[in-house]
């Protein structure tokens, strides 16, 4: 890979890694696009919880009863979109999503602070039999927790500056970028819409 | 429709109408999600060019050679996603997209200032026979222009404040919202990821 291609990919990963650790970073809240069981594209904000470059993985936490989980059970392909306004960088990521629930999600759950765990609870399901308020609270919250383990297939980067550049990297050729270069104003419009 | 439901929908449309006229508004650049011919969800920023509430239409301009047009030819369903940080409002729109090119797009083209038209031009296609530089420039630009006419089916709004609220509105019942209310912190987490 050329130095320029490698440096551009490094920039993209820096952005993702910031999002995973900094709640104020633009990459903290990507837009996750999935396909519903009825074939409709769907998009919503999610919170990026982990970015692991060596593994080529990103992680999002959610509720297994959410629409996005129903969509991913039917079609595990997803896209993540981020616009980083300071860098003027658009990241478009293609991923396949493995859904971890129950014991498979236990180690992630153990790392979540008590306060944050409340995000994954729900009001009691109607008709549910619960032994008491304390055990209900703990049990229900963990049951309402799912990990979306996003395995990266492709990273597409577009940077809009006076001279724009765009590159696409794929897992199948070990993230060697297959194009890079200054693209003119006209062409970049195609890239970003 | 209750006053509260109607007012919430008004808020959503205000946001869209701002995006259509103000290049600095958050709704100027929605994320457009489509499904590729191979079944992959795709997402990218687009520029909102028109928001017509009476017609239930939004409009985006693009290049007919773009990936999004190929996706929409195969599956005209799309989603638009906007996060409005000042309002703390997420808009999720389900649309079907009619593609207008050539003479069907002529009246939009006529409204675009000369400077902005350059966005829809391309470098010359290899092998193209052109009568001269002037006619080529005009012709090529108009040929590279397409309108994505997005007909709204559903508007889903989530507002994150101390008390969150969410409502979904559908064209098929004349935009009467089918739910609204304060939802607790836990439930709202499901809504936004």
Please report, for the domain that includes residue A29, its CATH number. 2.30.110.10
| Banded model confidence at residue B51, pLDDT cuts 50, 70, 90 | very high
Closest to B90 measured CA to CA, from B32, B50, B30: B30
Search chain B and give the residue with CA nearest A63: B190
Assigned domain for B20 exists: yes
Tokens of B189: 């987490």
Provide the shortest C-alpha distance from residue B1 to chain A (in Å).
Answer: 26
Residue numbers in B near A65 (CB within 8 A):
190
Residue numbers in B near A79 (CB within 8 A):
33, 40-43
Search chain B and give the residue with CA nearest A46: B193
Give exposure, A145-179, as e/b (b: 16+ Cβ within 10 Å): bbbbbbebbbbbbbbbeeebbbbebbeeeebebee
Between the CA of residue B142 and those of B26, B82, B104, what are the distances in Å? 28, 29, 11
Strand bridging mode A77-84 / A57-62:
unpaired
B185–A66 CB contact, under 8 Å: no
> Considering CB atoms only, which of A33, A83, A123 is closest to B79?
A33
Assigned domain for A136 exists: no
Is B135's pLDDT higher than 70? no
Assigned domain for A121 exists: no
A79–B42 CB contact, under 8 Å: yes
Assigned domain for A117 exists: no
Measured in degrees and rounded to the nearest 5, phi and psi for residue A90 equal -100, 125
Residue numbers in B near A35 (CB within 8 A):
35, 39, 41
DSSP A47: -
Residue numbers in A near B83 (CB within 8 A):
29, 31, 45
The number of C-alpha atoms within 13 Å of A90 and in the hemisphere containing its C-beta is 24
Taking only the tens place, the pLDDT of each residue in B83-131 is 999 999 999 999 999 999 989 988 888 888 877 776 676 554 434 444 4
Assigned domain for B92 exists: yes
Assigned domain for A129 exists: no
> Considering CB atoms only, which of B90, B184, B185 is closest to A45?
B90
Residue numbers in B near A40 (CB within 8 A):
77, 79, 94
Tokens of B176: 């009467």
Please name the helix (run of DSSP H) or strand (run of DSSP E) that holds residue A151, with its range, or none: strand A146-159
Assigned domain for A163 exists: yes
> pLDDT value at position B109?
87
Tokens of B151: 């007909």
> Considering CB atoms only, which of B45, B83, B193 is closest to A192?
B45
> pLDDT value at position A23?
93
Of A164 and B37, more confident: B37
- Per-residue pLDDT for chain A (193 aa), expressed as one digit of tens each? 678 889 999 999 999 999 999 999 999 999 999 999 999 999 999 999 999 999 999 999 998 988 999 999 999 999 999 999 999 999 999 999 999 998 988 888 888 887 777 667 655 443 444 444 443 444 457 888 999 999 999 999 999 887 678 889 999 999 987 665 444 333 333 333 2
Minimum mean pLDDT among B97-101, B149-153, B160-164: which range? B160-164
Of B177 and A33, more confident: A33
Q: Round the average pLDDT of chain B to a whole number and report it.
A: 83
A185–B94 CB contact, under 8 Å: no
Assigned domain for A56 exists: yes
Minimum mean pLDDT among A32-46, B13-27, B77-91, B133-147: which range? B133-147
Provide the shortest C-alpha distance from residue B98 to chain A (in Å).
Answer: 15
Q: How many domains does chain A have?
A: 1
> pLDDT value at position B115?
72
B164 contacts B152 by C-beta, under 8 angstroms: no
Domain region containing B19 = 3-105+142-192
> pLDDT value at position A112?
85
- DSSP code string of chain B: --HHHHHHHHHHHHHHHHHHH-TTSGGGSPEEEEE-TTS-EEEEE--EEEEETTTTEEEEEE-TTSHHHHHHHH--EEEEEEEETTTTEEEEEEEEEEEEEGGGGHHHHHHS-HHHHGGG--SPPTT---S-HHHHHHHHHHHT-EEEEEEEEEEEEEE-SSSEEEEEEEGGGTT-BS---EE-HHHHHHHH-
């Amino acid at each position: 890979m050329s130095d320029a291609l490698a440096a551009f990919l490094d920039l993209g990963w820096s952005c993702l890694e910031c999002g995973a650790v900094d709640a104020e970073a633009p990459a903290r809240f990507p837009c996750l696009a999935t396909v519903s069981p009825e074939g409709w594209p769907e998009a919503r904000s999610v919170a990026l919880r982990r970015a692991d470059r060596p593994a080529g993985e990103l992680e999002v936490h959610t509720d297994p009863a959410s629409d996005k989980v129903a969509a991913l059970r039917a079609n595990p392909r997803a896209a993540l979109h981020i616009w980083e306004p300071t860098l003027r960088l658009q990241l478009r990521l293609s991923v396949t999503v493995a859904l971890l629930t129950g014991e498979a999600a236990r180690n992630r759950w153990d790392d979540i602070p008590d306060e944050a765990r409340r995000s994954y609870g729900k009001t009691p399901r109607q008709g549910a039999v619960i032994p008491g308020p304390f055990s209900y609270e703990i049990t229900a919250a963990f049951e309402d927790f799912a990990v979306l383990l996003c395995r990266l297939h492709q990273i597409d980067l577009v940077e809009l500056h006076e001279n724009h550049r765009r590159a696409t990297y794929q897992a199948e050729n070990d993230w060697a970028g297959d194009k890079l270069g200054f693209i003119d104003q006209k062409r970049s419009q195609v890239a970003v819409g």
